[in-house]
Amino acid sequence: MTTSIPNETPAAPGAPAPTALPEALAGALVFFASGAVLVLEILAGRMVAPYVGVTLETYTAIIGVVLAGIALGTWAGGRIADWVDPRLTLGPVLIVGGLLALATLPVVRALGELTVARGGGSSIVLLALFAFLPPAAVLSSVTPTTVKLQLGSLRETGAVVGRLSALGTAGALVGTFLTGFALVAELATTPIVLAVGGALVTAGVVLAAVLRRGRLSAAALGALPVALALGAAGVAIGDRCQVESAYYCARVEADPSRPSGRLLRLDTLRHSYVDLADPTRLEFDYTQLIGDAIDVFRPPGAPVDALHIGGGGFSIPRYLEATRPGSRSLVLELDPALLELARERLGLRTRPELAVRTGDARVALARERSGTRDLVVGDAFGGVAVPWHLTTLEVVREVRRALTPQGIYALNVIDYPPSRFVRAEARTLARGFRHVALLAPPESVSGRSGGNFVLLASQAPLPLKGLRERISARGGGEEMVTGRALGRFFAGAVVLTDEYAPVDQLLTPGLPAARD
C-alpha cells in the first residue's frame, strides 16, 4: 500500500485558504523589507556615533543586535503565519516596521544622552537593543509571512522558499551597497530614515487595503498620524551634528573665553582647537608637545617638508607654517566633508605650501617618495583609537622610508590604564626605528591615569636635551621616557602587525574620550 503526498496545504479549521499575492508583488515586499533592515543597520553606526563613538565595539553591538532581530523576527513571523491568516497580518507588519524605523531617531537621540553620561560597552549594546532590535525583528517577519501566503502546494515549497529567500538576500545586498556607497554620501541620516520609515508605513497601509478588499481598519488609518508624530519627534529632538559626513558627526563650537578660539568635535571626541587669530597657539597638551618637537628638531625658523596623517582642525600644519615660514605640508585627510568644514568655519586656506589630499592615509603613504620628508605627524583617529591599519609595523616602515635620515615621526595616541595599546605602539615603533621617546604626564606614564601620549621616533638621535628645555621653558610637566626605561615601559607588549593589530581590544573600554 502506498501513501500519496497531498497537493494542498491544510488550512486551519473553518478558515479560508489564503489567496496568494502576485509573484512580483510578493517578491517586491520581501526585497523591500529586507533592504530596509540593512539600510537601518548601516545608518545605525552614524546615528549612535555622536553618543558612543566609532569603535569596533560599536559596530559589533549593532551587527549583533540586528542579527538577533533578524533571527527573532524570522522565527516569530513563521509561527504567527501558521496561527493567523497572513492576509490579516502582512499589511500591519509593514506598518509597525515602518513606525519602529521612524522611532529609531527619537529613541537614539533621547537614550543617547544617557549613554554619554553612563559610558561603557554595555551601554552601547543597550542603545542598539532598544533602537534597532524591534524594527529588525518586525521587518524580518515579512519574509516568512509572505512565504506562507504564497504556498499553495507542497510541490512548490522549495521553489517558493528559494525564490523569496533569494530576493530577500538581494534586497539586503542592495540596501547595504546603496546606503554605504551612495545615500550616506549624498544625504544626512534623518531624511534617509524618514524616507524608509514613511515608505514602509505607506506600503503597509496600501497592502492592508488590497488584502482586505478595500476595507481599512481604524488602526491602519491611525498609523499615518503616528508616523508623522514620530518623524516630527526625531526632527525636533535633533542631532549633535553641524556636518554629518560618511565618517563623522562634526561640529565647531566657539570658545566662550576667547573670541577667536574654535573647538572641533568629531562624534564624542574633542578633536582639535584652532585660534583663528593666532596659529601659534596650541591649546591641547599633546599639540604643545608636538609643537615642542617641531621647535627643536631643526634650527629655529628653518623650513621643513612635512607629511601630516590626519587633518582634523589642521592646527599642527598651521603652526608649522607660522613658526617655520617656507615649510611645505601635505595633509592626508580621510573625510572631504571635514576639509570643507575647516575651510568654512576654521579659517583654513589651502595652497601649495599647505596642501590637502583626501582619501585613506595608508594608501597615500605608500605613494610617498623615499627620503623626502623631514617630519611626519600622525594624528588620525576613529573615536579614541588610531585606525588599526595606521598602527602596525608595516606602516611604521613606510613612514621610515618616507623620512630623511634625520627625519622625525611624531605620533599621538590615546590610552588608559593598563595602557596596553600605547605600550604595544611604543614597542612597534622601537622595532621600526633606532631611537624612540615617549612624552606624557607622569601620572599617565606610571599608569595612575590616562589620556594622550606623544611618541617620537627617528633613525637619528632625537634632540632630547633641547626638548626637555623647551618643555620646561613653557612650564610643561610632561615626563620623557627613553632608552632602558622605555624598554621597561613596553616590556611584554605585542608588536602590532597587519596580521595582528587588536587596537580596539587593547584600549580599555568605558573610559572618558578626552584628548586635552
Q: Mean pLDDT, to the nearest integer, of 439-459?
A: 95
215 grid coordinates = 476595507
Q: What is the mean pLDDT of residues 328-338?
A: 93
Reported as a pLDDT band with limits 50, 70 and 90, residue 500 is very high
What is the C-alpha R_g of the chain?
A: 28
Asked if residue 115 has pLDDT above 50, the reply is: yes
- Residue 18's pLDDT is what? 54
CATH 3.40.50.150 location in the chain = 249-506
pLDDT at res. 222: 75
Q: DSSP string covering 73-94, please?
A: HHHHHHHHHHHS-HHHHHHHHH
Measured in whole angstroms, the distance separating CA 330 from the mean position of its chain's CA atoms is: 25
Contacts from 115-121 at CB under 8 Å and sequence distance 24+? Answer: 115/51, 115/52, 116/51, 116/52, 116/268, 119/510, 119/511, 119/512, 120/509, 120/510, 121/57, 121/61, 121/509, 121/510
Closest CA to 279 of 178, 204, 348: 348
For residue 116, pLDDT over 60 is answered with no
- CATH entry 3.40.50.150 includes domain 249-506: yes
Query: Among 88-97, 122-131, 206-215, 422-431, where is mean pLDDT lowest?
Result: 206-215
Q: What pLDDT, on a 0 to 100 scale, did the predictor assign at position 515?
A: 39
Looking at per-residue pLDDT, the higher value among 186 and 283 belongs to: 283
Q: What percent of the chain has pLDDT over 90?
A: 66
How many angstroms separate the CA atoms of 410 and 438, rounded? Answer: 10
Lowest-pLDDT range of 170-184, 241-255, 457-471: 241-255
Indicate the residue type of 272. Answer: S
**Torsion angles phi and psi, residue 510, rounded to 5:** 85, 15
Give the pLDDT score at 458: 98
Give the model's pLDDT for residue 293. Answer: 96
Half-sphere exposure for 160 (CA within 13 Å, toward CB): 20
- Which range (48-57, 410-419, 476-485) has the least confidence? 48-57
Cell output for 117: 553620561
Only one residue has cell 499615518, namely 224
Question: Predicted confidence band at 152 (pLDDT cuts at 50, 70, 90)?
Answer: low
Confidence class for position 191, pLDDT limits 50, 70, 90 = very high
Nearest Cα neighbor of 49 from 265, 252, 237 is 265
Distances (CA, A) of 419 to 270, 396, 446: 20, 20, 10
Rounded to the nearest 5 degrees, what angle is found at the Cα of 387, between the Cα atoms of 405 and 452?
A: 75
What mean pLDDT is reported for the chain? 88
The runs of H, that is alpha helices, within 279-434 are 285-296, 315-323, 336-345, 361-366, 393-402, 420-432
Least confident range of 75-84, 168-177, 226-235, 482-491: 226-235
- CA–CA separation, 250 and 245 (whole Å): 8
Q: How many CB atoms are closer than 10 A to CB 188?
A: 16
Asked if residue 96 lies in contact with residue 142, where contact means CB atoms within 8 angstroms, the answer is no
- What's the rounded Cα separation, in Å, for the pair 3 and 210? 39
Answer yes or no: are the C-beta atoms of 351 and 382 closer than 8 Å: no
Contacts with 132 (C-beta within 8 Å, 6 or more apart), sequence order? 40, 41, 44, 62, 65, 66, 69, 104
* 213 in Cβ contact with 76 (< 8 Å): no
Burial group, residue 235, by CB count within 10 angstroms (0-12, 13-18, 19+): middle
Tell me which residue has cell 588610531. 386
Query: Among all chains, which residue has been given the C-alpha cell 607629511?
Result: 307
* Site of grid cell 578626552: 514
The CA distance from 114 to 110, in Å, is: 7
Report the distance separating Cα 256 and Cα 272, nearest Å: 16
Contact (Cβ atoms closer than 8 angstroms) between residue 64 and residue 124: no
Q: Tell the residue number behind the cell numbers 549594546, with chain if given.
A: 125
d(CA 511, CA 450): 9
Backbone angles phi, psi at 372, to 5 degrees: -115, -15
d(CA 100, CA 96): 6
User: Which 8-state DSSP code applies to residue 509?
Assistant: T
Please say if the pLDDT value at position 7 is more than 50: no
Residues near 49 by beta carbon (within 8 Å), at least 6 away in sequence: 58, 248, 249, 267, 268
> What's the average model confidence in pLDDT over 498-511?
77
**Torsion-angle region of residue 320: left (phi > 0), alpha (psi -120 to 50) or beta?**
alpha
Cα–Cα distance, 275 to 258 (Å, whole number): 9
- Rounded Cα distance between 358 and 331, Å, is 8
- The band of 57, judged by pLDDT with boundaries at 50, 70 and 90, is confident
Judged by average pLDDT, the poorest of 184-193, 205-214, 356-365 is 205-214
Is residue 379 scored above 80 in pLDDT? Answer: yes
Q: State the span(s) of the chain assigned CATH 1.20.1250.20.
A: 23-240
- Residue 272 per-residue DSSP state: E
**SS3 state at 15:** coil
Name the architecture of domain 23-240.
Up-down Bundle (1.20)
pLDDT for the residue 228: 85
What are the cell numbers at 162?
A: 528559494
* Banded pLDDT at 347 (limits 50, 70, 90): very high
